Amino acid sequence: MKILVVEDSPQVAETVMDYLELAGHRVDCAYHGQAALQLLAQERFDVIIMDVMMPRLDGLRTVERLRSDGIATPVLFLTARDSLDDKLAGFKAGGDDYLVKPFAMEELEVRLQALALRGPRSDMGALAFGELEVDPGAGRATRAGVELKLGKIPFQILTLLVKRAPQLVTRQEVLDTVWGDEEPDSDALRSHIYALRSALDKPFPTPMLETLHGQGYRLVTP
């Protein structure tokens, strides 16, 4: 297997990598979510081990970004947080398995093998809300059958909104999901929302993107 370990603790990362390499696997490492996203944009892995609590971009937000980019690689969350709410949050973000620290290396390897055999997620097809369809894997969005011309960041924002629709997505959630800890200047999000609204709403008689001032954004059906 080719495995990516995303873990901000060098000691934990080294221990996991040493064990997996001795077991015959090829292993690479990223120490935070942004580095993982950069690696995954260039390389393919069979499975990802993802720590939850990390600086810059935590594991949940990283996996949400992966899924919104159409990356279907199985993800195993590795964390000391063991409450039911924590586990549910991991699965909701797009994780496939959840292992609580401390753990036995043998169990970790068996779980990774099971995920690799299962292969990439099969539920990464098009998302739909009303007359809107978004295909994260293809990077394509349509409204009423008309293709929307969107840049990368407006497309990521739209994917997040469709996944949550019709619920409200806060401004901070958009910033965390798209930029992580590297927040843009105050005008950048406004510009991308304007670009999204121009593509999604302006050519059509009824708007779908709604801004709740001081709160965030949501999609509504015409």
**Per-residue pLDDT tens for 26-56?**
999 999 998 998 888 888 899 999 999 998 7
| Percent of residues, the chain, with pLDDT higher than 70 | 97
**In degrees, to the nearest 5, what angle opens at C-alpha 20 toward C-alphas 19 and 21?**
95
pLDDT at position 120: 84
Q: Residue 102: is it exposed, middle or buried by C-beta count within 10 angstroms (0-12/13-18/19+)?
A: exposed
| Percent of residues, the chain, with pLDDT higher than 90 | 65
pLDDT at position 123: 66
Q: Which CATH architecture has domain 127-219?
A: Orthogonal Bundle (1.10)
CA distance 71 to 112: 17
Considering only the top CATH level, what class is 2-118?
Answer: alpha beta
Closest residue by Cα to residue 32 from 61, 11, 73, 3: 61
Average pLDDT over every residue of 168-183 = 82
In the chain, where are the structural domains located? 2-118, 127-219
pLDDT at position 181: 65
